[in-house]
Amino acid sequence: MSVTVSHRPAAVCLGIGVAVLASVSFSGHNKNLWRALRQASAHCPARRGLCSSHNGRLSRGPLLPCVKELEQVDHRKLSTQKITVVQLNILASNLATRNHFPYVLESSLNWENRKMALLRQLDALDADVLCLEELSDYWTFFKPELQDRGYESVYVKRPSIHVSNWSGEKKHDGCGIFYKKDKFELKEFEAVNFHDPHDRVAVLAFLKMRHFAQFVLVGCTHLWWNAKKVDHQMAELFELEEEVIRMSSDVKDKYERELAATYTGQNSVPIVLCGDFNNSPESPVYEYMESSFMQKPNVEGVSEAFRSAYAFYKSNALASAREQSAEALQSLEVEEGEKAEPPHTTVNFRRCWTIDYIWYSKSSLVPSRVLAIPPESELRAEDGPPNWFNRLILSDSLDRSGRLPLGLHGNYNGIPNSVHGSDHVPIMAEFEFLCANDTETC
C-alpha cells in the first residue's frame, strides 16, 4: 500500500502491520491559575472520578447526559446505534522529564509504570475509537497491547527535521487512531505533515461501520504547544482544514453509492476531529473551529459546521448536580459570555486549563453523553517528592516563570500520578447519528 501526502517524509503506520513511507503533497488563562491557587489546600480522596479504584481495577467515571444538545434535535431522527470516541494526549515517554514535572514521584514518572497506567485508563473507558497524541512506543507497546484488546490502528510519526526546545531534534511520538475491528472497517486513511518548523502531524481515518449502514471520518492532531504564538497554531489548523475538505470530497465521490444508503445520507459525511489544540476556549483557535472551520467557500464545494462535544459541559454537569461535589459545582459556574467547556483537561504545577477537544459535524452527529472530568483537587491529591516545591523556589525557576508566587508552598501537585499516566485527562463523547430523511422515513 502506498499513500501520497507532503514534501517531506512522514512515517505512516497501519496497525495491521504495514509500514509505509509517505511524502506530503497537498496544495489559560491566568484566571484558571488563580482559581487553582484558591483551591490548592483542598485535599480529597484520590481516584474517585474518571477512573476509580474498585477491587484493584479501574472503573470508568460517570457519563453526563448532553441535555442542551439533545434539546436541539428531533429525537425521532436519532439513530439507535452509537459510537464512543476518546481523546487523550498520553505524554510521550521521552517528554516526562524531572525538569518539566518536578512535582511527580519517580515511580509515577517512570515510563514503565506510566504506560501501564495509561493502558488501565483506556481499558476502563472501553471506547470504540481512541485518538492519542504524543504517542510513543507505538510498535513495541500500544499497537500490540491494544490489538490484543480488539483494536486496529493507523499511526503517523512526527518527522525529525527541526530542533525543538521541548522535544529536541529526534522526535519519538506521533498521532494515532485506534478503532475496534469488530465494529469498523478502515476504508481510507491520510497522513498530514504540517509545513512548519515544529514537525507536527495529523492523521485521518475514514471508517465504515460493520453492522450499521454508516461511515465516519475521524481525525487526530496535536497543534504546537506555544499558545502565545497563535499564528503558528492557526497555520497548522488551516492545513488540517484543507486536508479534511479534500478527503471529505474524495470519499463522497468514491463511495457515493454506499453513502446514499447510510443513515446520514450521501450529502453528509459525519466527521469527528480530536486533538490537543494547545489553546483555551477563549482563543482564536477555538473560535475558528467553532465559527469558520470548513464553513468558507472552497473549490470542493464542501461545507460543514462544527461544535465541541464538551461545549455545554458546565451546563450539562449542573443538570446532574446530585453527583457533583461542592468543589465541582463551584468550578462549573458559568460567567456571562464564558465558554461552557470543562474547567480543565490538563493539570500541572504551572497551569490548569482546557486544551483538549472532540469536535463533531453538527449536521450528522449529536453527542448524547460525555465523560465527567475529575475535580482539580482529586488530580492534585497525591503527594510529590519531599520538599519539591521548596527546591524549585531555591532554584529561582518559579520566579523567572512569573506563573506562581514565591510565597506559595505546600501540596500543589498535579498529574501524572499513580492513576493518571499523563498530564492530560481523557475526554470521551458518545455520539448518535442524525437521520438525513424526513422523520416519517427514519
Model pLDDT, residue 58? 78
Cell 509545513 belongs to residue: 195
Task: Output the CA torsion 190→193→194→199 (10° steps).
Answer: 150
Model pLDDT, residue 335? 52
Model pLDDT, residue 264? 96
The amino acid at 292? S
Model pLDDT, residue 389? 80
CA 19 – CA 180 distance, rounded (Å): 20
Model pLDDT, residue 322? 55
Q: What pLDDT, in 10s, does the model give residues 73-125?
A: 999 999 999 999 999 999 999 999 998 999 999 999 999 999 999 999 999 99
Contact 61, 50 (CB under 8 A): yes
Whole-number Cα distances in Å, 93 to 132, 173, 318, 350, 375: 13, 8, 37, 20, 26
CB atoms inside a 10 Å sphere around CB 201 = 29
Model pLDDT, residue 339? 58
- Ramachandran area for residue 275 (φ above 0: left; ψ -120 to 50: alpha; else beta): left
Backbone angles phi, psi at 397, to 5 degrees: -70, -30
Contact 340, 332 (CB under 8 A): no
CA 154 – CA 6 distance, rounded (Å): 18
CA 19 – CA 28 distance, rounded (Å): 39
Q: Which of 182, 168, 205 is nearest to 93 (CA)?
A: 168
Model pLDDT, residue 15? 41
Three-state secondary structure string covering 313-375? HHHHHHHCHHHCCHHHHHHCCCCCCCCCCCCCCEECCCCEECCEEEEEECCCEEEEEEECCCC
**CB proximity list for 243: less than 8 A, separation 6 or greater:** 26, 190, 192, 202, 204
Model pLDDT, residue 409? 38
Model pLDDT, residue 38? 35
Contact 214, 163 (CB under 8 A): no
- Domains, the chain, ranges and CATH? 29-382+413-441 (3.60.10.10)
Residues of the chain whose pLDDT is less than 70?
Answer: 1-57, 163, 165-169, 321-339, 395-411, 438-442
